[in-house]
Amino acid sequence: MRKGLLQLFSQLLTCFALSFVSACSPPGRGSAEPASQFVPGEWKPSLEQVQTSIQDELDTGTEKSQRYLNRASQNLSDVRDAQLFITYVLLAQGLDAKEQKALFDEQKTWLANRHELARSAVVSKGGSLAPLEYASAFRQVTEKRLAELEQRLTQVTNKK
């Protein structure tokens, strides 16, 4: 069930990405004109229940194996990353072409830094704990960025 949902969202996100690339193409670039809307306003996919469900399972009960913990942690970080992707796309479509380009560059730099930050949080020298350390740090960094972009999205939406 959760796997199916994640697959569906993965497909939706691919559509978002393709739409975004086409919306960022040269005609509008460099001008202050607002980019054309490419995500219908009423389309707001939510991953919140998937996230809560994984977190609840993780928090309840005992006797969880390392494999379970690693997978759950990876699933949570995947969901957060997908939420960040959605927020990024929604934010980008509310910006003019120049701002979109700035956001794109900013995000590219941030993505490179995220890996470094997550990697630096791993203190194990390999072993099965390392993926848990990495995925958990990856999620924390992603959540911080998600909060930032959500705040900016609210500001952009309120301006309209």
d(CA 124, CA 66): 14
SS3 155: helix
Site for other proteins in 33-72 (CB under 8 A): 58, 62-71
Taking the complex as a whole, the smallest distance from the CB of residue 146 to other proteins amounts, in Å, to: 16
**Cβ-based nearer residue to other proteins, 76 or 90:** 76
Q: How far apart are the first and last CA of the chain?
A: 38
d(CA 102, CA 52): 33
CA distances 70 to 122, 131, 133, Å, are: 13, 6, 9
d(CA 148, CA 143): 9
The answer to whether residue 1 forms part of the interface with other proteins (CB under 8 A) is no
What is the residue type of 114? R
**Cβ-based nearer residue to other proteins, 65 or 158:** 65
- Binder to other proteins among 114, 145, 146, 153 (CB under 8 A)? 114
- Binder to other proteins among 16, 97, 136, 145 (CB under 8 A)? 136
Taking the complex as a whole, the smallest distance from the CB of residue 71 to other proteins amounts, in Å, to: 6
**φ, ψ of residue 125 in degrees (nearest 5):** -100, 55
The answer to whether residue 7 forms part of the interface with other proteins (CB under 8 A) is no
Site for other proteins in 87-106 (CB under 8 A): none
Whole-number CA gyration radius for the chain: 18
The answer to whether residue 144 forms part of the interface with other proteins (CB under 8 A) is no
Taking the complex as a whole, the smallest distance from the CB of residue 93 to other proteins amounts, in Å, to: 26
In the numeric block, the tokens 């959540």 are attached to 143
Taking the complex as a whole, the smallest distance from the CB of residue 34 to other proteins amounts, in Å, to: 32
Using CB under 8 A, list all residues that contact other proteins: 58, 62-71, 73-74, 77-78, 111, 114-115, 118, 121-138
